Amino acid sequence: MKLKFARAYVAKAADQHAMMQAGNLPKQHVKCGDVAGQNIADPDWTLRPGELLAVNSVRDFTGAISITAAHGEIAAAIEWVQSQGAEVYELSSGERTGKGKGAQMVSRALSKMHGAVRMKDAQAMQANSVKARLKGRMPKAEALRLWCDARRFPRYQDAIAAMTGWNKASVYKELGPRDVGAGRAPKR
């Protein structure tokens, strides 16, 4: 069964044409958040009871970056649509706000936003961690020279001790095994 949408809502004007084709709607029935008066926060348009408002994702209802502000905007938009007697249909998930699904749609949209924010934080934290670990460490080229110098450092422990800021695990991971022959160190 193919659903018939009465209206659609998009966040950006660039998405308007694609939504017109997806919902087989005329341009005046596809409302855009970028256009004054068409934004869901202060609409000058109404919906009839039983109609479906199509959206790509309920995240289209918000322009907020903060998750707290986004939650309020999305919840208010869904509440406004339901106060008109209509329902929101999310194209990405195929769910409607009826039958208690509105809260699930909001939490799913926010979890995706939260995940994107957390990922940016994690990448920044990882970069800072690498900087902290490498702080005060001898450059890799200089450490490699000491690591491969079997005459000066016949024992690997002595070579690692001479490399400032390096430990055994990082030496083997970054520089690889020592390419020195087996047996006793040659006389100098």
> What is the average per-residue pLDDT within 85-107?
74
Contact 59, 90 (CB under 8 A): no
pLDDT value for 143: 92
- Its sign, for the CA torsion 165, 167, 172, 176, is positive
pLDDT value for 65: 57
Q: Which of 57, 65, 48 is nearest to 120 (CA)?
A: 65
The model's pLDDT over 10-54, given as tens digits with 9 standing for 90+, comes to: 888 888 888 888 878 888 888 887 777 777 777 777 888 888 888
> What is the average per-residue pLDDT within 119-147?
83
pLDDT value for 94: 77
| Phi then psi dihedrals of residue 31, to 5 deg | -85, 145
- Measured from the Cβ of residue 78, the count of other Cβ atoms closer than 10 Å reads 23
CA distance 22 to 72: 28
Q: Please name the residues in contact with 43: beta carbons below 8 A apart, sequence gap of 6 or more.
A: 31, 37, 80
| Phi then psi dihedrals of residue 9, to 5 deg | -135, 130
pTM of the model: 0.52
172: three-class secondary structure by DSSP: helix
The structure tokens listed for 133 are: 């670990």
5: three-class secondary structure by DSSP: coil
pLDDT value for 116: 61
Look up the CATH number of domain 7-129: 3.40.50.1390
pLDDT value for 90: 81
The model's pLDDT over 100-128, given as tens digits with 9 standing for 90+, comes to: 666 666 666 666 655 665 667 777 888 88
